[in-house]
Amino acid sequence: MKKTIVFLSLFLILFSMLSWSFNALGIIDVRSTAYEIADRVPILNNYLLSREEMTQLETRNDELEAELRQKEAELAEKEREIISLEAEIEQRKDLFANLESEYDQLSNQKLSRQERLAKIANIYQEMDEAAAAAVIQELEISFAVEILNELSEEEAAHILEQMPQNIAAEYINQLQNI
């Protein structure tokens, strides 16, 4: 029994070496030959693919791999676009928050400025019309016009009557633009 196993092992080794040598020299295509032998066995031929089917499958596999690489590249590009758009959204959110904060600050400043103008207008209401007219003429025109705008029409008219006509006309002209 041992001799048979040794003999069989030696035979297989020599057969493999001989087949490999013939294949390397191009005398026999071992792959094709093995395929042809296996194709003749009734049970195996149901499970073997022909050379043409194998080539078609390899071609289709290559096409699918190329398509997969293309889709992966497209996906990577879309992911970069998403990251870029998310960064842009964050920038816009920050910008919007900054603008909203600035608007709130300006709104508060406007209220406080409006409150200050109202207080100043109350002071001029308490003053004598001639004195109020003299003081208002010394102010910057835009500020004086804002104060006159805060006064009632009657009070503003009395103060403007106390001013020279050319200065009163300039203030009235500026009041139209508010």
- What are the residue boundaries of the structural domains of the chain, listed by start? 127-178
Q: What is the mean pLDDT of residues 30-41?
A: 69
Confidence tier at 75 by pLDDT (50, 70, 90): very high
Q: What percent of the chain has pLDDT over 90?
A: 20
Q: What is the mean pLDDT of residues 7-34?
A: 76
Cβ count within 10 A of residue 160:
20
Q: In this predicted structure, what is the pLDDT of residue 71?
A: 95
More confident residue, 111 or 153: 153
DSSP string, the chain: -HHHHHHHHHHHHHHHHHHHHHHHHTS--HHHHHHHHHHHSTTGGGTPPPHHHHHHHHHHHHHHHHHHHHHHHHHHHHHHHHHHHHHHHHHHHHHHHHHHHHHHHHHHHHHHHHHHHHHHHHHHHHS-HHHHHHHHHHS-HHHHHHHHHHS-HHHHHHHHHTS-HHHHHHHHHHHHT-
Question: Nearest CA to 157 among 135, 125, 126?
Answer: 125
Phi-psi category of residue 157: left, alpha or beta, with phi > 0 → left and psi -120 to 50 → alpha: alpha
CA angle 136, 139, 140 (to 5 degrees): 130
Quick check: 37 pLDDT over 80? no
pLDDT tens by residue, 114-152: 888 888 888 878 888 888 888 888 888 888 888 889 888
CA distance 104 to 93: 16
The two most distant CA atoms of the chain are separated, in Å, by: 140
Quick check: 87 pLDDT over 90? yes
Q: What is the mean pLDDT of residues 36-58?
A: 72
Q: In this predicted structure, what is the pLDDT of residue 139?
A: 85
Q: For the ranges 27-31, 58-62, 115-119, which has the lowest average pLDDT?
A: 27-31
* pTM for the model: 0.41
Confidence tier at 76 by pLDDT (50, 70, 90): very high
Confidence tier at 81 by pLDDT (50, 70, 90): very high
Structure-token pair, residue 171: 């203030």
